[in-house]
A and B are shown apart, each in its own frame.
Chain A
């Protein structure tokens, strides 16, 4: 099996796990972690594409894109974390989509 193909499939697996987590988990912190996992999967696929078939030189452009992508992803995560804190502050509620299940999680900060 080709090493690059292995990286591609690992990236896809990360992407799938992240997507599942983003949709299915109800806690916003888990959602943010899942989104980060997804982005890591995309980055892995991008990096493995840097060495195309039959090339000896490694293409630097995907690396530059991934570096930019990491910066973007860090900023997005920061904004998301601040928003989670703000939501918790005003609503005393950790969950996003399931309003009825508040009792299950309890009031964490009050």
Chain B
């Protein structure tokens, strides 16, 4: 069996290859796309198996060693993020297959929808290659390049719907993302000037407090916060996520915002954890609290279903930032496990929610929450998926969100900082509020009267419901991912660097 390095290379090369193929041979795009999704899932499976067998690994691309070369670093967190992308991406790809065939088959504007399918697959696979590369690389500048690939593909996907609102939102998204990457790049330049190296593991050994480091780190963080849409910087997210096509919304909300948060977790949780003052973590946690309150309040006020889900993303990202001061507080693995579980379960639940909302939109012809009563009579599976994903977001017991919040609550109480725990509970109550607002309309009985009576393909309904069930069961299945996470951790301890190959 091939080793982990082989699978890691496959994970970057295969999506790129299929992205180009599906662009060149547009007629076969709907064959290449799902094929790439399945192959990617296979490669992640291979990577996970060989990782579980042989442990963490560094791979020097092209044989170039550290000061000059770019390294891939395969550890527990990286494998989990890749697995999250593979599973969610596979479900979204299957959904998109049904989505585009339905719209092309039924709509009046045939040419526009055909064009959307033609461009969706190359862009989505390009984005996928960017995400995989981002999770694998250990080099800050290489991460800048993958961030840009991901960002450009995400912007183009947002604009794909062709509606004026979506195009405007895409342009705003692009400008924000430009500002974010500029700030990130300047941060990288300053760090390189300080230490002459860009590899994250090597940096974690070299860092020492100093003004240039603070400047560089502040710039890196500011850029990533813009891209992650933390509370005061979230203004671009809801219009972009709500106006995109349904599979695109699922990708943006489930996967793309996680990429920049993953980097923040690496930088704040591992690389610079020794030198950063606790006050900085408290600042990010406080902004996270703001995000939880503001996002949930806005979600409660929205009239459109997709806007509500997008604001719920703003709120849920807040939880991840609340976890950062707790990671600092807790020397053990509990807080780190919690934040990873929250990331995984939010990716599954939010993608499932957007996919179900897309089916509802297609069936009803609109997504005004007030007029959705009776939709469960015609779309029972999608309504079930929506409610199940919502319950998982609230943090109901068997879900991954519950286990994550429970661990965080334990850490905050044990460390004497109960206010973070209180914030988590308040956020869950507010989430229950906005999920109930939709669920009470969806599940109420009323004879349905809808203008468009097109049949939603089963693959669209079932891919959403499978993701929602997965998010729900993540709490029960959490043992093995957390073991993987623990297995990879020693590669970042300073002593681990010498034994790297």
Contacts and interface: CB of A to CB of B under 8 A. Distances in A.
B152 A35 contact: no
B148 A45 contact: no
Interface stretch (B8-16, B81-89, B161-169): B161-169
Interface string A84-98: 101100110000100
The size bracket of the interface on A is 20 to 34
Interface stretch (B34-42, B47-55, B174-182): B174-182
Interface string A40-82: 0010011001001000000101100100110010011001100
B179 A22 contact: yes
Interface stretch (B95-103, B186-194, B283-291): B186-194
Contact of A46 (B148, B163, B189): B189
Interface in B92-145: 141, 144-145
Contacts, number: 86
A68 B181 CA distance: 13
A22 B175 contact: yes
B495 interface: no
B182 A79 contact: no
Contacts of A87: 164, 167-168, 171
Contact of B156 (A62, A79, A84): A79
Contacts of A59: 196
Contacts of B170: 83
B159 interface: yes
Interface string B372-384: 0000000000000
A91 B162 CA distance: 11
B499 interface: no
Given A15-B186, A38-B182, A90 B164 contact: yes
A90 B164 CA distance: 6
B155 interface: yes
Contact of A96 (B168, B178, B182): B168
A91 B172 contact: no
Contacts of A91: 164, 167-168
Interface in B450-474: none
A28 B185 contact: no
A50 to B, nearest CB: 9
B189 A49 contact: yes
A87 to B, nearest CB: 5
Given A72-B145, A90-B162, A91-B168, A45 B178 contact: no
Contacts of B189: 42, 45-46, 49, 62, 65
A93 to B, nearest CB: 8
Given A79-B152, A96-B172, A42 B192 contact: no
A96 B235 CA distance: 14
Contacts of B159: 83, 86
B242 to A, nearest CB: 17
Interface string B429-444: 0000000000000000
A62 B190 CA distance: 11
Contacts of B2: none
Interface in B45-64: none
B193 A52 contact: yes
A83 B164 contact: no
B279 interface: no
A69 B144 CA distance: 9
B155 A79 contact: yes
Nearest to B141: A65
B1 interface: no
A80 B164 contact: no
Contacts of A19: 179
Contacts of B145: 68, 72
A80 B170 CA distance: 9
Nearest to A49: B193
Contacts of B162: 90
A86 B167 contact: yes
Contact of B171 (A22, A62, A80): A80
B178 A35 contact: yes
Contact of A42 (B141, B156, B182): B182
A35 B179 contact: yes
A75 B156 CA distance: 12
B174 A83 contact: yes
Interface in B189-204: 189, 192-193, 196
B175 A35 contact: yes
Given A42-B189, A87-B164, A96-B175, 7 more contacts: A39-B185, A46-B192, A52-B196, A61-B192, A72-B181, A87-B168, A96-B171
10 contacts: A38-B182, A42-B189, A52-B196, A68-B141, A72-B145, A72-B181, A83-B155, A83-B170, A87-B164, A90-B164
Report, nearest first, the 3 A-B pairs whose CB atoms are least far apart: A90-B164, A49-B193, A46-B189
